[in-house]
Chain A
Amino acid sequence: MSNCIIPDRELMSSGHLGCQGCGAGHAMRFALKGLGPKSILVMPACCWSVIDGPFPHSSLGVPLFHTAFETAGSTASGIKAGLVMRGDTETEVVAWAGDGGTFDIGLQALSGAAERNEDIIYVCYDNEAYMNTGIQRSGATPAGAWTTTTPTAHPKEHPKKKMLDILVAHSIPYATTTSIAYPEDMVAKFKKVRKIRGTRFVHIFAPCPTGWKTAPEYTIELARLATESHLFPLLEVYDGERWEIAKPQRVRSVADYVKLQGRFRHLKDEDIEKMQKEVDENWERLLAKESLNSIKKH
């Protein structure tokens, strides 16, 4: 995924309504550089419903259809079918949803679309809570994190839902994770998904300074730390069975990642050690999955 040339053409303009240091803004900018202008975005309720700008403005150079929270997968399926009926098989329909609209509220419509192997791209930009509505926990919020609905006296108990595994279980042609800390990786993967047919799932790690209680200038550093600590590995899964996992050149501790964030400030050293142990175990499991590739039929 290296040696990718990032296109100069900008399909996202300034004047959008993202917060300072918003990771979701980077996600959109580089996704569109990879996807190019022949794309239509389908947007359920999420931060980007607001970031794009109010009527009659839009900060994007591609058409955009706002839809209800739970319907990104089904709306995208319908728009794709409409384009095909009109004879347009070239334009990509891209569902662009946050983690709430993917992990929780939109899961049914997404699962339906994936099971039918609809010819759409589904993107989840993940900031690990309902940030747009005031930092309520979602199924993507990691255990231990503070949110307004999991206050420090009762931080989130349950681990982050393994969303990619759920998509992989649908045996879709391509599922991948990427991160705003690696724009070359993002652009290359979005160029790549355009060449694959069927349901494609892209999970982007996009930190949120407002909800994570972090300084805006740490957004990209945090995203990089998440990957380097094995907390958010960059990987690709083909046809639900072949796993390819990027190994970070330098490995950092979970503590380095956690200590920059206000949402984890209440954690004790033993809590962070527990997180580290869980991350290590997940990483081992991932490598084990990758090691099974050789025995798979091809």
Chain B
Amino acid sequence: MVLANINRAVGPPWNVWSDQNDSLSQRDVGMLQVYCESNQEVFDTVLHSFWVSEQLMLPTMLVLDAFYLSHTCEIVEVMEPDEARAYLPPYEPKHFLSPDHPTAFGNLTAPDSYYELRYQIDRDLRRGIELMRQADQRFEEVFGRSYGIIEEYRTEDADLLVVTSGTITGTARVVIDECRDAGKRVGLVKMRLFRPFPADDVCRILRPAKKVAVIDRNIGFSIGGIFAQEIRAALFSAGIHLPVFGFIAGIGGRDVTPDTIHEIVDQTEHMDAPDQEVYWIGVKHEQLHHTR
């Protein structure tokens, strides 16, 4: 099963624009999660996701930003049905509802069995890292397009790595190019696969840098951006001591412009280490109401 989730802000208050709190609040339900940057990537990821989900027997949530992708038009290259079938053969489920072999699905499961079933979900979901990598590689062999489970953009010799997900990545590429033109050693890391969390890949890619700036279009209230949290945990577990700056931007559809990302790069460059767990970029302080 593949579920396409269009990232929309959650209430309160009511807002129909984009942020990731809806999907990230579901990060621990046992689904894979893939965050997409463009409509072509969304289309291609549908095929990747079915290929992986059908093997793991776990559902995939592919995630795309509201409005930036869901309400805009982009040209998408669509393959012939035969080509798609060659990549994704017809699915033969192992388990299905049939009067020929009566089975109860999803029934009450007591502590003596529930624990093991949840263990199996954890074990199987972890296999999704390699399967998603293979799905992408197979796709490249057939269709010539590849995204990786994490994409590195101009990360060679970078002192500062900016980490993004979703459509903010497209804007960040432009900023990285401008920074490189100005002689700054800045690179970009796009998180595509979020569940299962590719901790080894994250550590391998970030280890050579001196600083990391994570841009989260989401907020784990009182603890900071959710991508930043998980990246910090992965680095810490691997014994890698890197300053990770957590930036919140774009929540509820607030525009994230090249200037926003330049501000993030500049702030990170001018500090040795973060002095706060999280930096909210562009808060209009004059609009804030004071709590009693």
Q: Which residues on B sit within 8 Å (CB–CB) of A49?
A: 107-108
The distance from the CB of A32 to the nearest CB of chain B, in whole angstroms, is 11
The distance from the CB of B115 to the nearest CB of chain A, in whole angstroms, is 12
The distance from the CB of B113 to the nearest CB of chain A, in whole angstroms, is 5
Asked if B86 lies at the interface with its beta carbon under 8 angstroms from chain A, I say: no
- In the assembly, what is the distance between CA of A54 and CA of B107, in Å? 6
**Pick the contact of B107 from A40, A52, A61, A79 — CB < 8 Å?**
A52
- In the assembly, what is the distance between CA of A163 and CA of B98, in Å? 31
Q: Which residues on B sit within 8 Å (CB–CB) of A53?
A: 104, 107-108
Asked if B79 lies at the interface with its beta carbon under 8 angstroms from chain A, I say: no
Asked if A87 lies at the interface with its beta carbon under 8 angstroms from chain B, I say: no
Asked if A62 lies at the interface with its beta carbon under 8 angstroms from chain B, I say: yes
Which chain A residue has the least Cβ–Cβ distance from B105?
Answer: A65
- In the assembly, what is the distance between CA of A96 and CA of B257, in Å? 53
The distance from the CB of B54 to the nearest CB of chain A, in whole angstroms, is 16
Which residues in chain A, 36-87, are within 8 Å of chain B measured between CB atoms? 37-40, 49-50, 52-56, 58, 60-67, 79, 83
Which chain B residue has the least Cβ–Cβ distance from A86?
Answer: B96
| Range class of the A interface residue count | 20 to 34
**Pick the contact of A63 from B104, B108, B109, B110 — CB < 8 Å?**
B104
Which chain A residue has the least Cβ–Cβ distance from B114?
Answer: A55
- In the assembly, what is the distance between CA of A60 and CA of B108, in Å? 14
Most buried by B among A49, A52, A53, A65: A65
- In the assembly, what is the distance between CA of A83 and CA of B98, in Å? 9
The distance from the CB of B129 to the nearest CB of chain A, in whole angstroms, is 29
A54 touches B109 (CB 8 A): yes
Q: Which residues on B sit within 8 Å (CB–CB) of A50?
A: 108
A63 touches B106 (CB 8 A): no
Which chain B residue has the least Cβ–Cβ distance from A50?
Answer: B108
B102 touches A54 (CB 8 A): no
B99 touches A64 (CB 8 A): no
- In the assembly, what is the distance between CA of A30 and CA of B243, in Å? 68
A64 touches B102 (CB 8 A): yes
Q: Which residues on B sit within 8 Å (CB–CB) of A64?
A: 102-105, 107
The distance from the CB of A72 to the nearest CB of chain B, in whole angstroms, is 13
Q: Which residues on A sit within 8 Å (CB–CB) of B109?
A: 54-55
B107 touches A63 (CB 8 A): no
Asked if A136 lies at the interface with its beta carbon under 8 angstroms from chain B, I say: no
Q: Which residues on B sit within 8 Å (CB–CB) of A62?
A: 99, 102
A65 touches B106 (CB 8 A): yes
B105 touches A60 (CB 8 A): no
Which residues in chain B, 81-110, are within 8 Å of chain A measured between CB atoms? 97-99, 101-110
Asked if A111 lies at the interface with its beta carbon under 8 angstroms from chain B, I say: no
**Pick the contact of A79 from B97, B99, B113 — CB < 8 Å?**
B97
The distance from the CB of B20 to the nearest CB of chain A, in whole angstroms, is 24
**Pick the contact of A58 from B97, B102, B113 — CB < 8 Å?**
B102
Asked if A171 lies at the interface with its beta carbon under 8 angstroms from chain B, I say: no
- In the assembly, what is the distance between CA of A67 and CA of B103, in Å? 14
A66 touches B97 (CB 8 A): no
Asked if A91 lies at the interface with its beta carbon under 8 angstroms from chain B, I say: yes
- In the assembly, what is the distance between CA of A229 and CA of B59, in Å? 52
Which residues in chain A, 138-182, are within 8 Å of chain B measured between CB atoms? none
B105 touches A40 (CB 8 A): no
A61 touches B102 (CB 8 A): yes
Contact status of A60 and B107, CB under 8 A, knowing A40-B97, A65-B97: no
Contact status of A63 and B113, CB under 8 A, knowing A58-B102, A58-B107: no
Q: Which residues on A sit within 8 Å (CB–CB) of B99?
A: 37-40, 62-63, 91
- In the assembly, what is the distance between CA of A73 and CA of B101, in Å? 24
Which chain B residue has the least Cβ–Cβ distance from A60?
Answer: B102
The distance from the CB of A201 to the nearest CB of chain B, in whole angstroms, is 22
A55 touches B110 (CB 8 A): yes
Q: Which residues on A sit within 8 Å (CB–CB) of B108?
A: 49-50, 52-55, 66
Q: Which residues on B sit within 8 Å (CB–CB) of A40?
A: 97, 99
The distance from the CB of A36 to the nearest CB of chain B, in whole angstroms, is 9
B residues with CB within 8 A of A: 97-99, 101-110, 113
Extra contacts, 18 of them, besides A40-B99, A55-B108 (Cβ < 8 A), are A37-B102, A39-B99, A49-B107, A52-B107, A54-B107, A54-B108, A54-B109, A58-B103, A60-B104, A61-B102, A62-B102, A63-B98, A63-B99, A64-B102, A65-B104, A66-B106, A66-B108, A79-B97
A residues with CB within 8 A of B: 37-40, 49-50, 52-56, 58, 60-67, 79, 83, 91
Interface pairs (17), CB distance under 8 Å: A40-B97, A49-B108, A50-B108, A52-B107, A54-B108, A54-B109, A54-B113, A55-B107, A56-B113, A58-B102, A58-B104, A58-B107, A60-B102, A60-B104, A62-B99, A64-B105, A83-B97
